[in-house]
């Protein structure tokens, strides 16, 4: 389904899944896709939103419509809603109409606007340029010199992506167990994201500081961490969960402990950590 999607578009869908899980939604809806788009493609947001701070206003309005539920584990599959499936089809149609080989973030936005009655379309229409304007500027909105937009299924990639992914996961696990801040941090992308247990976001060079602070404060149990699952969401996008018991756990891995939920992507340098979230359950 996502063979024609650029990395940027795939990551937007991955972040849409993340947004849905954080709000406890049993399906990935158009509002989650819109939030994923705004989270992934800051360049697109700057170009199409009509005033500074519009992205934050959009999130506030969407949150007013969302009924929050209990967070959903990364191990649980969350399907696309019917509206969201139509948006993806509309995005593909937009790419065809504009003569573009690949489906990019801008096409996902156009698809969202076309699904006019959905929550995401109603909200974004208040802050966004019109679809006709976006279509006219689509070629400029697609960053042709950005390797993210050129990397699609079928492009050059490791001959054994599964092995490379699991090797990287094992490397991350080993470094995490050893509390090796430098090694863990080196597996993050330069603009990688890390959410600590308080929900604070650390970016880029700050990641090592946040991880070091966690290791310094963490009790026993980190050394017993295991990889609970590895989910391949697309050829170059994956998620995994590392979990370890609470210090007072008598044996085994309890249902309630600490989890590191990791989003990974495959690029020219192999698999890297795009974002990681510490979650206490």
The CATH number of whichever domain residue 224 belongs to comes to: 3.10.450.50
CA distance 33 to 36: 5
Helix (H, G, I), strand (E, B) or coil at 156: coil
Tell me, yes or no, whether 12 lies in a domain. Answer: yes
Tell me, yes or no, whether 2 lies in a domain. Answer: no
My answer on whether 145 and 215 are in the same domain is: no
My answer on whether 241 and 136 are in the same domain is: no
Question: Crossing angle of helices 30-40/54-65, nearest 10°?
Answer: 160
Residue 135: which domain range? 7-150
pLDDT, tens only, 11-48: 888 888 888 988 899 899 999 999 988 887 777 777 78
Quote the tokens at residue 231.
């989910």
Q: Which of 90, 118, 150 is the last residue of a domain?
A: 150
For residue 72, is pLDDT > 90?
no
My answer on whether 227 and 256 are in the same domain is: yes
Tell me, yes or no, whether 244 lies in a domain. Answer: yes
My answer on whether 142 and 216 are in the same domain is: no
My answer on whether 32 and 140 are in the same domain is: yes
pLDDT over 70 percentage in the chain: 86
- Calculate the alpha carbon distances from 210 to 39, 188, 217, 247 in Å: 21, 13, 11, 20
Q: Where are the beta strands (DSSP E) in 135-219?
A: 188-195, 201-203
Q: How many helices, marked H, and strands, marked E, lie in the chain?
A: 13, 6
Selected residue with higher pLDDT from 272 and 45: 272
**Mean pLDDT along residues 129-146:** 72
Residue-by-residue DSSP string for 261-279 = EEEEEEETTEEEEEEEEEE
Q: In this structure, what are the phi and psi dihedrals at residue 214, rounded to the nearest 5 degrees?
A: -65, -45
- The reported pLDDT for the residue numbered 145 is 37
């Amino acid at each position: 389904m996502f063979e024609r999607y650029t990395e940027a578009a795939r990551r937007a869908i991955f972040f849409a899944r993340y947004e849905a899980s954080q709000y406890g939604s049993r399906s990935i809806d158009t509002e989650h896709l819109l939030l994923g788009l705004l989270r992934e493609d800051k360049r697109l947001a700057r170009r199409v939103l009509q005033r500074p701070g519009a992205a934050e206003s959009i999130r506030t309005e969407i949150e007013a419509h969302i009924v929050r539920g209990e967070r959903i584990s990364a191990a649980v599959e969350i399907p696309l809603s019917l509206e969201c499936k139509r948006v993806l089809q509309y995005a593909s149609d937009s790419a065809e109409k504009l003569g573009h080989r690949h489906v990019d973030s801008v096409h996902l936005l156009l698809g969202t606007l076309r699904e006019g009655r959905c929550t995401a379309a109603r909200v974004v229409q208040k802050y966004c340029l019109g679809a006709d304007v976006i279509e006219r500027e689509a070629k400029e909105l697609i960053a042709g010199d950005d390797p993210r937009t050129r990397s699609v299924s079928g492009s050059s990639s490791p001959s054994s992506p599964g092995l490379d992914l699991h090797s990287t996961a094992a490397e991350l696990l080993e470094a995490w167990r050893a509390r090796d801040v430098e090694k863990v941090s080196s597996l993050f992308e330069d603009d990688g994201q890390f959410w600590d247990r308080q929900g604070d976001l650390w970016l880029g060079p700050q990641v090592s500081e946040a991880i070091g602070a966690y290791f310094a404060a963490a009790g026993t149990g980190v050394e017993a961490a295991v990889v609970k699952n590895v989910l391949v969401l697309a050829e170059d996008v994956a998620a995994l969960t590392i979990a370890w018991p609470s210090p007072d756990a008598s044996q085994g891995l309890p249902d309630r402990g600490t989890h590191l939920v990791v989003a990974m992507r495959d690029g020219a340098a192999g698999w890297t950590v795009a974002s990681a979230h510490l979650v206490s359950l």
